[in-house]
Amino acid sequence: MSDVVELAEARLRGALGEPDARAAVTFLGTGRIEVLRFTGGGAGPDRDGSRPDGSGPDGSRPDGDVVRYATLGMSREPMSDPTSPTADPVRGPRAELVLSVRAGRADTDKALRPLAVLAASPQVEGVVVAPGGSLDLGEPLWPGAPFSAVLVAEPGGLVEDLELDEPMDPVRFFPLLPMTANEAAWKRVHGAAALQERWLAAGTDLRDPLRAGVDLG
């Protein structure tokens, strides 16, 4: 069959259009990780996990001012349970990550390397990315960002899963929802669903790169 990464890129292009920029990072012990930037729309309604039903916070925001960053290369190897004594080179979940932010409000292009770091975490740290999980960088997603962690949202709304030949698992494209430090700490105690309910109740625009943290009192 064709290379998994080539198929993943084709799926991203089909869902998000043609990328207008890309950067590559290679980490010791991992393959090449690229991050592609998409600014041409092509994704239709807001369906990137910013609400449980897949719509944006107000259910009707257009996509025209949204820039999306997608990793490419994370799906090359399946993710494995870090407690497993041996890693299956074929079977296991595969993923890529997608971050959507409103364009022109912050220097979000500087998020490319941090996103590559997150994409390399399964191979470097044995992390298995799954919906409801958190990924923490320990530093801002971009210069001046109030976010150093992200919530992994449900896949399938923005970019459909990529089915692969048996016995390989499909590639899933996980939306990332930036969290402030307080939100990340609160989520660890109360869970992802409770945090998403707070965001929804407050009408939080999760794509706003300058947003303040939601009231958690």
Token match 């949202």: residue? 153
The Cα–Cα gap between 195 and 3 comes to 37
Q: Output the six-digit token pair for 184.
A: 């990340």
The Cα–Cα gap between 191 and 172 comes to 22
The pLDDT of residue 217 is 81
Convert the pLDDT of each residue in 84-93 to its tens digit.
Answer: 666 777 888 9
**34 near 23, Cβ under 8 Å?**
yes
Instruction: Tell me the whole-structure pTM to 2 decimals.
Output: 0.88
The pLDDT of residue 124 is 86
Residue 24: C-alpha distances to residues 32, 120, 145, 160, 216 (Å):
7, 12, 22, 24, 37
The Cα–Cα gap between 4 and 10 comes to 10
**99 near 68, Cβ under 8 Å?**
yes
The pLDDT of residue 96 is 98
Q: Output the six-digit token pair for 127.
A: 């992390």
Q: Output the six-digit token pair for 186.
A: 């609160």
Q: What does the pLDDT profile of the chain (217 residues) look like in tens digits?
A: 459 999 999 999 999 999 999 999 888 777 899 999 999 654 444 456 555 333 443 333 444 589 999 999 999 999 987 666 667 778 889 999 999 999 998 999 999 999 999 999 998 888 899 999 999 999 999 999 999 999 999 999 999 999 999 999 999 999 999 999 999 999 999 999 999 999 999 999 999 999 999 999 8
Convert the pLDDT of each residue in 163-191 to its tens digit.
Answer: 999 999 999 999 999 999 999 999 999 99
Q: Output the six-digit token pair for 206.
A: 């999760």
Helix (H) or strand (E) holding 183: helix 181-190
Helix (H) or strand (E) holding 177: strand 171-180
The pLDDT of residue 60 is 35
Burial of residue 213, with CB atoms counted within 10 A of its CB: 0-12 exposed, 13-18 middle, 19 or more buried: middle
- Which segments of 27-167 are extended strands (E)? 32-38, 66-72, 94-102, 134-136, 147-152
